[in-house]
Chain A
Amino acid sequence: MSVLGKIFTWWDGATIGTLLNSWRTGEQVGTDAQGNRYFRARKTPAGTNERRWVLYAGANDASRVPPEWHGWLHGHFVDVPESLLPPAKIWEVEYTPNATGTLGAYRPQGALERGGRRAGASGDYESWTPDS
């Protein structure tokens, strides 16, 4: 990403301010399979919960956070997933972000985007062409 892009856009990855802040006040605790980096505040004022945040590798889409890191981010787990959760089972599928609004979104069978055909309705007719 170009420097200009970094300065003027906010939707891919962290902005310069966030990066600076993360470097200044936070420490990285881990990354997930997609390369998102997870941070927590170095100092936690008494009587408050620890601040935790994520810097996305790519689009800023909250659904890109996999469930195990989601739990950590929201304070469900005390420790990072690698040390807290059991290893992934072989039957677990890879986490995919929410595809709504993208080309990969789920389309029910018969949807026009999946090559479905509109059901016949009254008033439909088949017109004649000289070749028929």
Chain B
Amino acid sequence: MPKVTVDGQEIEVPAGATVLQACELAGKEIPRFCYHERLSIAGNCRMCLVEVKPGPPKPQASCALPAADGQEIRTDTPMVKTAREGVMEFLLINHPLDCPICDQGGECDLQDQSVAYGRGGSRYGRENKRAVTEKNMGPLIKTIMTRCIHCTRCVRFSEEIAGVDEIGALYRGEDMQITTYLERAATHELSANVIDLCPVGALTSRPYAFEARPWELKKTLSIDVSDAVGANIRLDSRGREVMRALPRINDDVNEEWLSDKGRYMVDGLTRRRLDKVWIRKSGKLAEASWDQAFKAIAAAKPGKNIAAIAGDLVDCETMFAAKALLGAMGSTLLEGRQTGMDYDVSNMAAVAFNSTFAGIETADAILIVGSHVRWEAALVNARLRKAVKHGAKVFVVGPEWETTYPATFLGEDVGVLGKLPKDVSDAFKGAERPAIILGGAALAKGALAPALAFADKFGLVNDGWNGFNVLHMAASRMGGLMLGYAQAGGIADIAAAKPKVLLSLGADEVDYSAFDGVLKVYIGHHGDKGAHAADIILPAASYAEKDGTYVNTEGRVQYAEKAVFAPGDAREDWTILRALADALGVSVGFDSFADLQGAMFAAVPALGEEGLADLGALPKGDAKAKADGVITYPIKDFYLTNPIARASAVMQQCSAELLHGDDLAEAAE
């Protein structure tokens, strides 16, 4: 623990800390461009210069200098001031002064720091500025490379975090240019994070180009629902429209990254919206009023023959409100696993990501069964890459996909779980923190029991470590399971119960052909498969348009806030269900959102506490359990996995250009 003095203030810093970190610990702000906490140190912008004694009598780049015992660091001397001014002047030699037309304006590090640490003017005014051609980086990243200050954060991000070497710095010196190889589009699932990383306006968001200024946006804390990771996001809205989604820092969940889908599907919130009530009359959907719809549902006289299926994007409150309604009617026909999975949910710990995302980084042997992690949870994939960098071995059961780290594929048949090759079992026997990650495709093949047996066999649970993980794909899944949205036989049980009325809470992946003759009431926000199959459509709110509780695949309870109002006649889901209860003549016991939440917390106390829910201990595995079958991943197209993304023009473009671009080119030839 070295002791250093920063501006006369003596502090102790952790071993291995840099001078910059020491200054931050002392509460001093150090300007920087290239340095980033989550990336390797480059030391090429020179903005973080400070004076350090002992050492050479010149300013030192604090980001790349280890803090050593007895160092005397000054950040407030004239030398440091002139050094910063000098560096800033150099950076601005070639930087265009186009802030008024730059999308980074208002949230630009260069802008802020030139105000705080720069000179009033430049001595290079008479020289021509360098101009650099724009580079193609795909449909998400817009480049104005003349603005680039060569910090190389984007290069380091794609190499280190994303694990896809796509972006590089060509040429040298003043001519250095950041580009992708042959200007191909950046294709990985985290590519748009370089936009946040770029300290200037060189890489900006293409779909958001010239849309809004940061200071005119209302910022709302929300949770990403595009996958089961539950990334913490901030929805920036103007008026009634969500303009963009940005990641928030949460080291336990998403660090400070966000998958491209979570970031860019928000434009789907303004397309294909359900904004009025529809009732099917003689085979054709016709516009109707709320009253007519409620009367039509009441006329079906469901009694206790009413069922509910929850979609992938709904919040816990909606599911609880539906559960309360069904409970009042005397029904427990609830299901959330839309594709018909029927794994055992008697123990919640057996269906959660117990290692936690931060914990999986420390695993040293990981077996992935039936999960295309890159597509099902791109942020978890970044964690796995970190684990591999720390020396973890990764094995995958399932069809091959392009990993961003060395991994061994063990075949496509889930049966391999019972008879692992020797090198795999040796790796797990020797591992201190072994882990298994079970994907949805594996659960569908009944791999849960064999996986639990695997956990027993290799001691996946030991003191302070639980290596048994299930990686879900739907944001609503864990919350749904906690609220009892599961039948022993899955959705087939619901169909077999032959309900009179089926409430579909934004369920768009269900095969509705099993519910012929049932009055299907779709309560959702997007006109997708569910709406086309429905008999009555009640327009509801999307995740951006209501407060809600979400539980991610770790069992982490998180709250999202309402950013904007739902369009047209659409209402928040719980109000619809509350009104429906009146129409059906039952009492659900809540009249306000606070009442509803109170009732929900009383019923499932774990939901009342933000953070990891205590899901109990893992059940004993049955050593004889077996599963077999060839794994097929459920996600066929990363960019189009939910109704919002399917409605989004940006996601459609990404799908067409990034995933099917080669097909298109071939078709053109």
Partners in one complex: yes
Chain A interfacial positions (CB closer than 8 Å to B): 122-130, 132
Known A-B contacts A122-B212, A122-B239; the reply to A130 vs B271 at CB < 8 A is no
Q: Which of B95-103, B272-280, B422-430 contacts A (4 or more CB under 8 A)?
A: B272-280
Name which residue of chain A comes closest to B276, CB basis. Answer: A127
B270 at the interface (CB under 8 A from A): yes
- In the bound complex, CA of A30 to CA of B669 (Å): 74
Counting from the closest, the 3 A-B pairs by CB-CB distance are A128-B527, A123-B240, A130-B285
Contacts of B269 in A (CB 8 A): 125
* Complex alpha-carbon distance, A132 and B278, angstroms: 14
Is B240 a contact partner of A128 (Cβ separation < 8 A)?
no
Set of chain A residues within 8 Å of B500, measured between Cβ atoms? none
Tell me, in angstroms, the Cα distance from A124 to B269 when the chains sit together: 10
Determine if B527 and A132 form an interchain contact, defined as CB atoms under 8 angstroms apart.
yes
Cβ contact within 8 Å between A128 and B526: yes
Q: Contact: B284 with A124, CB < 8 Å?
A: no
CB proximity of A53 to chain B, nearest CB, Å: 56
B199-219 at interface with A (beta carbon < 8 Å): 212
B272→A130 contact, CB < 8 A: no
Known: A122-B212, A123-B241. A130 touches B532 (CB 8 A): yes
Residues of A within 8 A of B567 (CB): 125, 127
Q: Given known contacts A127-B567, A128-B527, is B272 in contact with A122 (CB within 8 Å)?
A: no
Q: Which of A123, A124, A126 contacts B272 (CB 8 A)?
A: A126
Q: How does the 8 Å CB contact mask read for B518-547 relative to A, with 1 for contact and 0 for none?
A: 000000001100011000000000000000
| CB-CB nearest in chain A for B532 | A130
| Complex contact A126–B274 (CB within 8 A) | no
Whether A126 pairs with B241 at a CB distance below 8 angstroms is no
Sample of 20 A–B contacts (CB below 8 Å): A122-B212, A122-B238, A123-B239, A123-B240, A123-B241, A124-B241, A125-B270, A125-B271, A126-B270, A126-B271, A126-B272, A127-B275, A127-B276, A128-B526, A128-B531, A130-B284, A130-B531, A130-B532, A132-B272, A132-B527
With A122-B240, A122-B241 given, is the CB distance from A127 to B284 under 8 Å? Answer: no
8 new A-B contacts, CB < 8 A, other than A126-B270, A130-B278, A130-B285, are A122-B238, A122-B243, A124-B270, A125-B275, A125-B568, A126-B273, A130-B527, A130-B531
Once the chains bind, are A128 and B284 in contact (CB under 8 Å)?
no
> Given the complex of chains A and B, what is the CA–CA distance between A126 and B270 in angstroms?
6
The residues of A that contact B273 with a CB separation of less than 8 Å are: 125-128
Q: Measured between alpha carbons, how far is A127 from B276 in the docked complex, in Å? A: 9
Q: Which of A125, A126, A132 has the most CB of B within 10 A?
A: A125
Q: How far is the CA of A130 from the CA of B530 in the complex (A)?
A: 11
Chain B residues close to A by CB (< 8 Å): 212, 238-241, 243, 269-276, 278, 284-285, 526-527, 531-532, 567-568
Residue of B whose beta carbon sits closest to that of A124:
B270
Which residues of chain B have C-beta atoms less than 8 A from A122's C-beta?
A: 212, 238-241, 243
Q: Please give the distance in Å from B244's CB to the nearest CB on chain A.
A: 11
Determine the residue in chain A with the shortest Cβ distance to B567: A125
Q: Which residues of B contact A123 (CB under 8 A)?
A: 239-241
Complex: A130 Cα to B567 Cα, angstroms: 17
In the complex, what distance in Å separates the CA atom of A132 from the CA atom of B567?
18
Q: Is the CB of B274 within 8 A of A128?
A: yes
Secondary structure call for the A interface: loop
Complex Cα distance A123/B242, Å? 8
Chain A residue with minimal CB distance to B242?
A: A122
* A128 and B241 within 8 A (CB): no
Cβ distance A2 to chain B, nearest Cβ, rounded Å: 53
- Chain B residues positioned under 8 Å from A127 (CB to CB): 272-276, 567-568
Highest count of chain B CB atoms <10 Å: which of A128, A130, A132: A128
User: What's the least CB distance linking A125 to chain B, in Å?
Assistant: 4
* Contact present for B270 and A128 (CB under 8 Å): no
CB distance from B219 to the nearest CB of A (A): 15
Q: How far is the CB of A120 from chain B (nearest CB, A)?
A: 9
Distance in angstroms between the alpha carbons of A123 and B564 in the assembled complex: 9
B285 — nearest CB in chain A belongs to which residue?
A: A130
Contacting residues, chain B, for A124 (C-beta < 8 A): 241, 270
- Docked CA distance A130–B284 (Å): 8
A127 to B243, CA, bound (A): 18
A127 to chain B, nearest CB (A): 4
Complex: A128 Cα to B269 Cα, angstroms: 12
The residue among B243, B270, B526 with the most chain A CB atoms within 10 A of its own CB is B270
CA distance A132 to B275 in the complex (A): 14
How far is it, in angstroms, between the C-alpha of A130 and the C-alpha of B239 when the chains are bound?
28
- Residues of chain A within 8 A (CB-CB) of B276 are 127
Q: Complex formed: what's the CA distance from A40 to B107 in Å?
A: 73
B272 touching A128 by the CB < 8 A rule?
Answer: yes
Q: How far is the CB of B501 from chain A (nearest CB, A)?
A: 20
Chain A residues whose CB sits within 8 angstroms of the CB of B272 once the complex forms: 126-128, 132
Q: How far is the CB of B148 from chain A (nearest CB, A)?
A: 30
Chain A residue with Cβ nearest B274? A128
Measured CB to CB, the nearest residue on chain A to B564 is A123
CA distance A132 to B271 in the complex (A): 11
* Cβ contacts under 8 Å, A128 to chain B: 272-275, 526-527, 531
Closest Cβ of chain A to B287, distance in Å, is 9
CB-CB under 8 A from B241, the residues of chain A are 122-125
A52 to B667, CA, bound (A): 78
Report the bound CA distance from A122 to B212 in whole Å.
Answer: 10
- For A132, what are the chain B residues with a Cβ–Cβ distance below 8 Å? 272, 527
* A123, A124, A132 — most chain B CB neighbours (10 Å): A123
| A122 vs B238: C-alpha distance when bound (angstroms) | 7
A126 to B568, CA, bound (A): 10
State in angstroms the CA–CA spacing of A125 and B285 once bound together: 21
Q: In the docked arrangement, what's the CA distance between A123 and B238, Å?
A: 8
A126 vs B240: C-alpha distance in the bound complex, in angstroms? 13
In the complex formed, the residue of B with least CB distance to A128 is B527
A113 to B276, CA, bound (A): 30
A126 CB contacts on chain B under 8 angstroms: 270-273
The complex places the Cα of A94 from the Cα of B421 at a distance, in Å, of 95
**Bound form: Cα–Cα A126–B648 in Å:** 11
Min distance, Cβ A129 to any Cβ of chain B, angstroms:
8
Chain A residues near B243 (CB, 8 Å)? 122
Contacts of B271 in A (CB 8 A): 125-126
Nearest-Cβ distance from residue A121 to partner chain B, whole angstroms: 8
Q: Nearest A residue to B238 by beta-carbon distance? A: A122
Name the residue on B nearest A125 (C-beta).
B270
Which chain A residue lies CB-closest to B525? A128
Q: How far is the CB of A123 from chain B (nearest CB, A)?
A: 4
Instruction: State A130–B277 Cα separation when bound (angstroms).
Output: 11
For residue B305, give the distance in angstroms from its CB to the closest CB of chain A.
Answer: 27
Inter-chain CA distance A123–B240, complex, in Å, is 5
Enumerate chain A residues within 8 angstroms of B526, measured Cβ to Cβ: 128
Closest CB-CB distance, B236 to chain A, in whole Å?
A: 11
Q: In the complex, A15→B660 CA distance in Å? A: 78
